[in-house]
């Protein structure tokens, strides 16, 4: 029995047929699926790689797990131009699969839904975010934004109701907004599981600056609110000799604009754009040397970068979106987009070493919930439930 995973990750396809990612996927992503299914096919938007893979790219295909390439598109207009090719590619992939796992929300999963319902294929959903939040900002043109938002929200509710298994990354928020159907087996299960080397006991809080802040995330879109963090940092500049250095880890299309914003705010000497780093160990090394982790996201599912920072005992600040309220205490959060509130909270936390020490201990304890040894048996059980639904369909026929 084989499973098709439909994901929103973008993939680079080399001339030798190998698949590469710069978005955090790696070949081990498929390991637990391969314990249940004979083969894994992952469908993703793919672009042909000219030359060698980028230095920060990771190979994601392996024996038993191969790519089903979907024509690349970056915008609604590009999708319109390639709609027939995209739809036909999904049709073939779904037809050849025994069971399907959708990562939602996602454009490909939306396009796959009518095909799935028409073919009566069994499928599961891995619910990682709220499309109503994702599409509130300038992700799509303002003229079509309300239509696209309604399309995503309606489809995701239908997907969750029709799925055999619904895996939610948040315990309350996402299941409440997108409830499972009466016959759907639902489970709260983070798509993040941390190995033992991801954990580091909290270090004593430093008493004096310069204080080092770090943020981590893709810069493909404005989701991560790095612009908000930069504006908050500018408000703190020269206020009361609070010396701050910010490191931004991640790369993407909006990076150039963020670098220009830092210059225009007069804080470019305080900010280092580190780009994408080669692997989680390199990211951990930078994060471990920080005094504070800040995630100013406009939208989130359950942010891996935040959980990894918490596992290293790092005091952390976030916004009250997605699954972040399930990770951070109310006093450690602000509303998304509120520059003044974020600046005030950063200032208060950096001026109070006792508060930072308490945050460190609290975060480290919470991150224990995301140890691989805790989560992997539960994820395996969810995959087995999905496989059983496909086997029962074959038996019924």
SS3 for the chain is CEEEEEEEEEEEECCCCCEEECCCCCHHHHHHHHHHCCEEEEEEEEEECCCCCCCCCEECCECCEEEEEEECCCCHHHHHHCHHHHHHHHHHHHHCCCEEEEEECCHHHHHHHHHHHHHCCCEEEEECCCHHHHCCCCCCCCCCHHHHHHHHHHHHHHHHHHCCEEEECCCCHHHHHCCCCCCCEEEECCCCCECHHHCCCCCCCCCCCCEEEEEECCCCCCCCCHHHHHHHHHHHCCCCCCCEEEEEEECCCCHHHHHHHHHHCCCCCCEEEEECCCCHHHHHHHHHCCCEEEECCCCCCCCHHHHHHHHCCCCEEEECCCCHHHCCCHHHEECCCCHHHHHHHHHHHHCCHHHHHHHHHHHHHHHHHHEHHHHHHHHHHHHHHHHHHHHHHHHHC
Query: Which of the two residues, 134 and 294, has the higher pLDDT score?
Result: 294
CA atoms within 13 A on the CB side of 345: 24
- Please report, rounded to a whole number, the percentage of residues in the chain having pLDDT higher than 70: 96
What are phi and psi for residue 165, nearest 5 degrees?
A: -135, 135
Kindly state whether residues 228 and 327 are assigned to the same domain: yes
Kindly state whether residues 22 and 155 are assigned to the same domain: yes
Q: What is the dihedral of CA 100, 104, 105, 109, to 10 degrees?
A: -10
CA distance 304 to 324: 10
Kindly state whether residues 227 and 296 are assigned to the same domain: yes
Kindly state whether residues 389 and 342 are assigned to the same domain: no
Average pLDDT of the chain, as a whole number:
89
Orientation angle between helical segments 304-311 and 280-288, nearest 10 degrees: 60
Q: Which two tokens stand for residue 211?
A: 């204080």
- Is the pLDDT at 397 greater than 60, yes or no? no
Residue 171 has what pLDDT?
Answer: 77
Kindly state whether residues 216 and 357 are assigned to the same domain: yes
Query: What band does 225 get if pLDDT is binned at 50, 70 and 90?
Result: very high
Kindly state whether residues 256 and 236 are assigned to the same domain: yes
Mean pLDDT of 221-239: 89
Kindly state whether residues 220 and 172 are assigned to the same domain: no
The lowest-confidence range among 88-92, 241-245, 258-262 is: 241-245
Query: What band does 242 get if pLDDT is binned at 50, 70 and 90?
Result: confident
- Which range marks the domain in which residue 342 is found? 196-370
CATH number, domain with residue 310: 3.40.50.2000
Kindly state whether residues 308 and 325 are assigned to the same domain: yes
The pTM score is 0.73
Q: Tens of pLDDT along 320-352?
A: 988 899 899 999 999 999 999 999 999 999 999
Kindly state whether residues 281 and 139 are assigned to the same domain: no
Query: What band does 179 get if pLDDT is binned at 50, 70 and 90?
Result: very high
Kindly state whether residues 206 and 150 are assigned to the same domain: no
Kindly state whether residues 257 and 151 are assigned to the same domain: no
Query: What band does 54 get if pLDDT is binned at 50, 70 and 90?
Result: confident
Number of domains in the chain: 2
Residue 271 has what pLDDT?
Answer: 95
Question: Is residue 355 packed enough to be buried (19+ CB in 10 Å), middle (13-18) or exposed (0-12)?
Answer: middle
- Is the pLDDT at 235 greater than 80, yes or no? yes
Kindly state whether residues 324 and 307 are assigned to the same domain: yes
The lowest-confidence range among 180-184, 280-284, 292-296 is: 280-284
The lowest-confidence range among 67-71, 262-266, 377-381 is: 377-381
CA distance 36 to 177: 30
Residue 240 has what pLDDT?
Answer: 62
């Amino acid at each position: 029995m084989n499973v098709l995973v439909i994901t929103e990750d973008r993939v680079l396809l080399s001339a030798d047929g190998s698949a590469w990612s710069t978005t955090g996927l790696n070949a081990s992503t498929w390991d637990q699926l391969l314990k249940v299914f004979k083969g894994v096919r992952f469908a993703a938007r793919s672009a042909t790689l000219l030359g060698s893979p980028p230095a920060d790219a990771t190979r994601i295909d392996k024996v038993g797990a191969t790519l089903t390439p979907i024509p690349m598109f970056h915008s609604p207009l590009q999708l319109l131009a390639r709609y027939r090719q995209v739809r036909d590619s999904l049709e073939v992939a779904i037809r050849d699969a025994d069971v399907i796992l959708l990562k939602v929300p996602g454009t490909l999963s939306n396009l796959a839904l009518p095909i799935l319902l028409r073919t009566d294929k069994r499928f599961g959903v891995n619910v990682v975010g709220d499309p109503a939040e994702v599409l509130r900002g300038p992700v799509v043109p303002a003229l079509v934004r309300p239509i696209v938002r309604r399309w995503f929200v309606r489809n995701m509710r239908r997907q969750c109701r029709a799925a055999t298994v619904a895996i939610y990354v948040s315990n309350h928020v996402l299941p409440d907004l997108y409830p499972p159907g009466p016959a759907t087996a639902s489970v709260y299960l983070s798509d993040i599981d941390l190995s033992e080397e991801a954990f580091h006991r909290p270090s004593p809080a430093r008493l004096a600056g310069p204080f080092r802040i770090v943020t981590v995330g893709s810069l493909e879109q404005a989701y991560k609110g790095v612009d908000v963090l930069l504006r908050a940092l500018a408000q703190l500049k020269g206020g009361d000799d609070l010396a701050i250095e910010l490191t931004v880890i991640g790369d993407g299309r909006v990076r150039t604009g963020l670098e220009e914003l830092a210059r225009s705010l007069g804080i470019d000497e305080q900010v280092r754009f580190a780009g994408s780093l080669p692997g989680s160990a390199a990211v951990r090394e930078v994060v471990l040397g920080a005094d504070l982790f800040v995630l100013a996201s406009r939208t989130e599912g359950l942010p891996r970068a935040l959980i990894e920072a918490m596992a290293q005992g790092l005091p952390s600040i976030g916004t009250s979106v997605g699954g972040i309220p399930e990770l951070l205490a109310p006093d450690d959060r602000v509303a998304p987009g509120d520059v003044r509130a974020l600046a005030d909270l950063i200032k208060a936390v950096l001026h109070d070493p006792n508060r930072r020490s308490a945050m460190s201990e609290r975060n480290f304890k919470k991150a224990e919930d995301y140890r691989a040894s805790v989560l992997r048996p539960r994820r395996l059980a969810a995959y087995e439930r999905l496989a059983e639904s496909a086997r029962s369909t074959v038996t019924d026929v």
